[in-house]
Chains A and B, each alone.
Chain A
Amino acid sequence: MTPKIVQKIKTAGINTLKSLWITTPILLAVIGLVGLFKTFITPQMIHTLFNKNVIHDTLIGTTAGAISVGQPFLSYIIGGELLQEGISMYAVTAFILSFVTLGIIQLPLEFSIFGARFTIVRNLLSIIFAILIAWITVITLHYLHGFFT
């Protein structure tokens, strides 16, 4: 290894540690909030938000997904239960999508790293596309179901 490469690695290591040092407080804050949400916001609370009106439930599904935190499989379990209770597939799909693409509690972190403009554009697009993809997925499934039966 040439001294030039060693120097490059050294500088890169220092820069990376600096980035880690800057990110650590807000990362710990987000982890702390995730822990609080996991304990205080229960799946039962999410259930009570739906009222079986398709448009209302799709919007609620998107919002509930955005405020929920946890591993993706949690959204499948909650989504599966909501379906069994008669909540529309539109709402459940929107919920599953926004669960993984939106995160209200990580917004401050996103904001501080990427800046306001990028964060606003990305999150607005994610909200719109959670609703759009939910609708188009369910419509496609209806067509496919009709096609194969």
Chain B
Amino acid sequence: MSQKKSTAKKSGMIMLSIVILLYIILYFYAPQKIFASLHANLKLLKMIAPILLIVFFLMALLNSFIDEKSIAKHLGKESGVKGWFIALFGGILSHGPGYIWYPMLEELRKKGALDGLIVAFLYARSIKLPWLPLMISYFGITFTLVLSFYVVLGAFIQGIITNMLERK
């Protein structure tokens, strides 16, 4: 295991231990709430498990069939408009909490994808297609359309800023 991977595993274990300790301490303070939290965790796990499987399946595909050259072509410095298109629409279409996409996105970075495209992908994820009808019912269609437009524009600008910072 490389140094970076071993550090990641170690920091993960430390954080998990802190969270478990937090649960134990809070159990004495509010046991009912701790049971409710555990119930919420189980629900969340059930919800993200299928998406997590898809993400890791995509990672396996990425590892076996897509090499650095094609990543560089589609998401690297020479990707151009196509790269932005993939990042923005990929972000809008992706499901589940953002953090379950992190390992796959890091894999893409390692293979040469631009940081700006990863940032754009993560920001474009704030457009949640399944929840748009609810947003419209709460805030109206004009608000939803205007906000969605600026989110895409914002994701693009943030990506460009990140790439500019990267070059420095």
Contact = CB atoms under 8 A, between A and B. Distances in A.
Do A and B assemble together? yes
Given A80-B138, A100-B125, A110-B102, 12 more contacts: A15-B60, A26-B8, A26-B12, A96-B147, A103-B99, A106-B97, A112-B8, A118-B109, A118-B115, A129-B157, A137-B146, A144-B146
A13 B62 CA distance: 11
A45 interface: no
B133 to A, nearest CB: 10
Interface string B142-154: 1100110011001
Interface string A134-147: 00110011001000
B158 A113 contact: no
B138 to A, nearest CB: 5
A93 B126 CA distance: 12
Contact of B15 (A29, A113, A137): A29
Interface residues of A, number: 62
B17 to A, nearest CB: 8
B98 A103 contact: yes
A35 B37 contact: yes
B28 interface: no
Contact of A113 (B13, B61, B106): B106
Interface string A71-98: 1110011011000000000000100110
Interface in A10-25: 11-13, 15-16, 18-25
Which among B16, B22, B45 has the highest number of chain A CB atoms within 10 Å? B16
Interface of A: 8-9, 11-13, 15-16, 18-36, 38-40, 71-73, 76-77, 79-80, 93, 96-97, 100-101, 103, 106, 108-110, 112-114, 118, 121-122, 125-126, 129, 132-133, 136-137, 140-141, 144
Contact size class for B?
Answer: 35 or more
B123 interface: yes
Contacts of A122: 119, 122, 158, 162
30 contacts: A15-B60, A15-B63, A19-B59, A23-B12, A31-B48, A34-B41, A35-B44, A36-B22, A36-B26, A39-B34, A72-B128, A72-B131, A73-B131, A76-B139, A80-B139, A101-B125, A109-B99, A110-B99, A110-B102, A113-B8, A113-B106, A114-B102, A114-B109, A118-B109, A118-B115, A121-B119, A122-B162, A129-B123, A129-B158, A137-B143
Interface string B49-85: 0000000110111011100000000000000000000
A27 B9 contact: no
Contacts of B61: 12
Contacts of A96: 147
